[in-house]
Amino acid sequence: MSGMQVSARQGRAAPLRLGVGGTHQAGGSRGPVCPPQAVWPSGTECIAKYNFHGTAEQDLPFSKGDVLTIVAVTKDPNWYKAKNKVGQEGIIPANYVQKREGVKAGIKLSLMPWFHGKITREQAERLLYPPETGLFLVRESTNYPGDYTLCVSCEGKVEHYRIIYSSSKLSIDEEVYFENLMQLVEHYTTDADGLCTRLIKPKVMEGTVAAQDEFSRSGWALNMKDLKLLQIIGKGEFGDVMLGDYRGNKVAVKCIKNDATAQAFLAEASVMTQLRHSNLVQLLGVIVEEKSGLYIVTEYMAKGSLVDYLRSRGRSVLGAECLLKFSLDVCEAMEYLEANNFVHRDLAARNVLVSEDNIAKVSDFGLTKEASSTQDTGKLPVKWTAPEALREKKFSTKSDVWSFGILLWEIYSFGRVPYPRIPLKDVVPRVEKGYKMDAPDGCPAIVYEVMKKCWTLDPGHRPSFHQLREQLVHIKEKELYL
């Protein structure tokens, strides 16, 4: 480390001054006292917890919520050399920032940690014991399938309130209506409004962690006040994708309104906190708003999905060099996922986005899992999914390699749908007998050879993404694609 050390002001204490009653004050707000335990290596991302105006020329001022990257350690462990988003460098106090971490794998995040699913009235009463006024949970109704029940401990006994679901709204008294369970619980947390007591303390389902707490702990929670939603740029079955402005920067925002859908998207957001690569769409943070749902904020990709980009521009605009560059961009992202033991499971040109400066980045981590887990195959895109994944639910980096071969075919056919003229029901039987698509018109033979290697039926004989990248780099350097 000593080679990286920067001469900080010797012995200068981190900027903490004692305020009233001995509390430490940082730029007008409370600052923590403890210096960081471990040394943060160069490249570590931090998020600012306080404003720092800087007191010496070499300081780097920042505002609460800014993301900073550690450049080097200084001789004083309380100070680091860091850079901000626009590349300005300077010295920062360690105790004003929080290291960003990936959300821990294996924990179950919940937007509704008080929701216990299908449990009986008796099980609910056991969970709310010993009695404590205001302790509550929500369960699925056993008597009225499709409805919910709010169970509240009040003065030694448990009251059960049926939550009626009618015309897409929820209500207990048919006077006040709510869009979702989170809104309903939020309302009765602030006001009993006819219940025996207001909701005071959630009975958290065992094994779950409140999503907001975990995103805050790991440094990924953003503030809704800093985000302006500008216009809809895409619609999904889950909600809208909007162009937003986050503290002066253009961002893309997935706005997920429905309880169940938002819950499913938590997994995507938590995977994205663990991934950092210039060819992966970068998560900027997550906003959990109890009243309105979940917002996943990512970098904005001005040119939209790769499949639309290819279709709208076509052969006259996009030359051979450009197609190979997109192929390499995606391959580098996938090599990174491979090295970190993540399987994407839904690699396709529709899930690759193109930035203002024509960089292709892999997105849509909705199905991405750590390599060991299995998955329901009900909704899988048949034409992009490897035969063993469809047949035996065996997902691996090698099944991603198969999908990469299909994506290469999409790139070189300028966004055509794979297996043209073959009915969907016939695709899998033909592929399992060894059928491979022909090369797209004008596709260099050497690139078509790469596609065919990806479509080897035995996954063990398919190349790795590392090998694929080496082959594509070789094709590029020797200009074999022309």
Binding-site positions for ATP: 254
Binding-site residue positions: 254
The CA-atom distances, in angstroms, between 160 and each of 119, 121, 150, 172 are: 13, 8, 6, 11
Cα(81)–Cα(92) distance, integer angstroms:
6
Cα(53)–Cα(55) distance, integer angstroms:
7
SS3 of 125, please? helix
CA angle 306, 311, 312 (to 5 degrees): 100
Sign of CA dihedral 335, 419, 302, 368: negative
What Rg do the C-alpha atoms of the chain give, in angstroms? 26
Is residue 73 a contact partner of residue 39, using CB atoms and an 8 Å limit?
A: yes
Question: In DSSP terms, which residues pair with 18 in a beta bridge?
Answer: 24
Q: 76, 259, 329, 346: which is the annotated catalytic residue?
A: 346
- DSSP of 237-282: TTEEEEEEEETTEEEEEEEE-SHHHHHHHHHHHHHHTT---TTBPP
SS3 of 195, please? coil
Cα(251)–Cα(244) distance, integer angstroms:
5
The CA-atom distances, in angstroms, between 143 and each of 119, 126, 467 are: 11, 18, 58
Does residue 268 come out as left (phi exceeding 0), alpha (psi in the -120 to 50 range) or beta? Answer: alpha
Helix-strand-coil split of the chain, %, nearest 5: 30, 25, 45
- DSSP of 146-194: T-EEEEEEETTEEEEEEEEEETTEEESSSSS-BSSHHHHHHHHHH--TT
Would you call 346 a catalytic residue per the annotation? yes
H/E stretch holding 450 reads helix 445-454
Amino acid type, 331:
C
The CA-atom distances, in angstroms, between 376 and each of 119, 367, 379 are: 24, 10, 8
CA neighbor of 383 nearest in space, from 406, 414, 350, 349: 406
CB atoms within 10 A of CB 426: 11
Is residue 33 a contact partner of residue 16, using CB atoms and an 8 Å limit?
A: yes
Catalytic site positions: 346
